[in-house]
Amino acid sequence: MRHAAVAVLRAAYAAGDLSKGKALHARVIRAAHFDVVLHNNLISFYAKCGRVRLARKVFDAMPFRNAVSVNLLMSAYASSGRHKESFALLRVVDFGLNEYVLSAAVSATAHVRSYDMGRQCHSYAVKAGLAEQPYVCNAVLNMYCQCAHMEDAVKIFENVSSFDAFAFNSMINGFLDHGQLDGSVRIVRSMTREVEKWDPVSYVAVLGHCASLKDFVLGAQVHAQALKRRLELNLFVGSALVDMYGKSNRAHDANCAFEVLPEKNVVSWTAVMTAYTQNELYEDALQLFLDMEMEGVQPNEFTYAVALNSCAGLAALRNGNAFGASAMKTGLWAHLLVGNALMNMYSKSGSIDDADRVFMSMPLCDVVSWNLMITGYAHHGLAREAMEAFHSMLSAAEVPSYVTFVGVLSSCAQLGLVDEGFYYLNVMMKELGIIPGKEHYTCMVGLLCRAGRLDEAEQFIVNNCICTDVVAWRSLLNSCQVYRNYGLGHRVAEQILQLKPNDIGTYVLLSNMYAKANRWDGVVKVRKQMRERGVRKEPGVSWIQVGIDVHVFTSEDKVHPQMEQITKKLDELIDKIKAIGYVPNFAVVLHDIEDEQKEEHLMYHSEKLALAFGLIHTPKGATIRIMKNLRICDDCHVAIKLISVVTGRKIVVRDAVRFHCIDGGVCTCDDYW
């Protein structure tokens, strides 16, 4: 009976015929005597067919079971991701665990990241004398890696003499997952020496290590080794290669690794999209999304997140909206990852209200969501709202992170809350043990500058060893410009130009500073210096989306087909704002041109062209959103504020650093930028 039945089950599985198996099941139930092995075969059959509930039914109906029955059901649960249920099965076991069941139990605790349960299993293994069993030992080692207790993992790793690739793989991934790159460097080194036979997972792990370190040289060597064994065709290894090249800023190589894959799945597609996005090739990433859908591959939550991040990079609000709607239809919208990506997209596209709306509707949120809200408000010049969000975050018992404090400190800076800023820096360091980074120090410099305490700001830079940080110095120089402190400004600019010769941002700030202080001799000097050193301004580019099209404008570029209309509109606008006090600010013109040309030059700044175009092509009262690659210039800032008055429009300009939300002649940047 048993042999025949097993043969039937095997055939039924091979033919994918579930009903044949069920028919046999019925006969087994009617049979006079109970056979454990046969019932185990039934469990195995249902499990292989992906019918875990039926497997469980068989299990529950058994008058007695053995270790194999338990193990079969546990692995069925594990392969469908139901690790808690797998672990819970131990409660019905009324006999001692063997090495099979024990390693399944340990791996369940590893998946749910339960250090406590994992440790209990480990001590059980020690008492039962099973701790040295290779599978148990590896499972325990892996459990400690997953549960972020690398010190326990290291103890096991060091005490066992002979290891296969498995243990090395676990150790590398454990160190990588917890950001301990020095640890993974050690393991990878000894692995290249001691482990002869790498398995495919080893390649994936080592490539992940290379990706984290952006170690393209080692990555390419691993690639070469993989080629010898034709492993570049393996979906996992291939995706890891795509990721490694992408993170090493080699989008083209990433694409080659992708193209070579004979079978592509949603992960490999998403990996190559990610590679493009991380290298700022947003349009290509979005094109890949379309290609993927054409191939009939369904996007998952990661794919949507990457697509939305590309939209964020382009500030492509409409496309982002479309992806959001599409994610809503597929039900993937509720994923944390997608919600966060949507918030990010709205925030980077200048639509902070929409970001807030998404945040409020998210079923689950995490520290990243809170950070997006806080930094989003801060970038939009809404420091009060940012601080409110921060306090709500604390009330919600979410633990602030490194990024949280970047938002908090920059909000304190915007509000001129010097004491609060230092208080929060202290909380961050003392209470949360977060080591402040450049971003925090730069915020503190900005904080002191905002309060007009420029000398203290300079001292702060010197005292905190961030003298080599151009961003910190630039923040100080910016304040010198705002406060017209050209003595300090000149010194600071020298300092920056020593660190980064020909830094165009510095020349612009310096020139603006002299202009604001009415020091025309200074402006002339800066221009001369630039000419002598051959420094050229990067062309300003602005873009605006109208309908489904993105219209791009470069300064002085007159190639747009509707240039005539745009010029006419601009003339009109300039006349109107001159009537309410606009005076062109020639100081921002860094080119050596005649005075009479300067007004025309200013008029053709890319943001003004984009704005005029937007005013022509959008309905009355609609908000206009403009993106710019550089920082908005002082003249345009003044002009756009006045244009918002004469047209009654809300105008949002995203420049290289922040948002300017301009409404009724007032900008959220408070003219401090």
Partner DNA sequence: GTAGGGTTAG
For DNA, the closer CB: 272 or 488: 272
The CA–CA distances, whole Å, from 48 to 7, 13, 150, 280 equal 15, 8, 34, 43
Residue carrying structure tokens 């873009």 = 543
Provide, rounded to whole angstroms, the least separation between the CB of residue 177 and DNA. Answer: 8
Return the number of the residue (185 or 195) whose C-beta is nearest DNA: 195
Is residue 402 within 8 A of residue 434, CB to CB? The reply is yes
Distance CA 670, CA 673 (A): 8
The candidate with the shortest Cα–Cα distance to 37, out of 15, 11, 64, is 64
**Helices within 128-265 (DSSP H only):** 134-146, 150-159, 165-177, 181-194, 200-213, 216-228, 235-247, 251-259
Secondary structure letter of residue 399 according to DSSP? P
The encoded tokens of residue 42 equal 């039934």
For DNA, the closer CB: 371 or 555: 371
Residue 441 beta carbon to DNA: minimum distance, rounded to whole angstroms: 21
Of 302 and 486, which has the nearer Cβ to DNA? 302
Q: Which is nearer to DNA, 342 or 589 (CB)?
A: 342
Residues 628/606, Cβ–Cβ less than 8 Å: yes
CB of 443 to DNA, least distance (A): 18
The CB-of-117 to DNA minimum distance in angstroms stands at 15
CB 358, min distance to DNA, A: 15
* Cβ proximity to DNA, 234 vs 414, nearer residue: 234
Least distance to DNA, CB of residue 3, Å: 9
- Nearest distance in Å: CB 74, DNA: 8
Q: Going by DSSP bridges, is the β-strand pair 651-654/624-628 parallel, antiparallel, or unpaired? A: parallel
DSSP bridge partners of 551: 544
**Main-chain phi, psi angles of 659, to 5 degrees:** -100, 145
Nearer to DNA, 56 or 601 (CB): 56
Taking the least distance from each CB to DNA, the nearer of 78 and 552 is 78
Nearer to DNA, 9 or 632 (CB): 9
Residue 39: closest CA among 5, 79, 88, 87: 5
Pair 1, 35: CB distance under 8 Å: yes
Task: Find the shortest distance in angstroms from Cβ 469 to DNA.
Answer: 21
How is 579-630 classified by DSSP, letter by letter?
HTT----GGG--S---HHHHHHHHHT-HHHHHHHHHHHHS-TT--EEEEESS
What is the smallest separation between the CB atom of 435 and DNA, expressed in angstroms?
A: 19
Tell me which residue of 453, 440, 368 sits closest to 411, measured CA to CA. 440
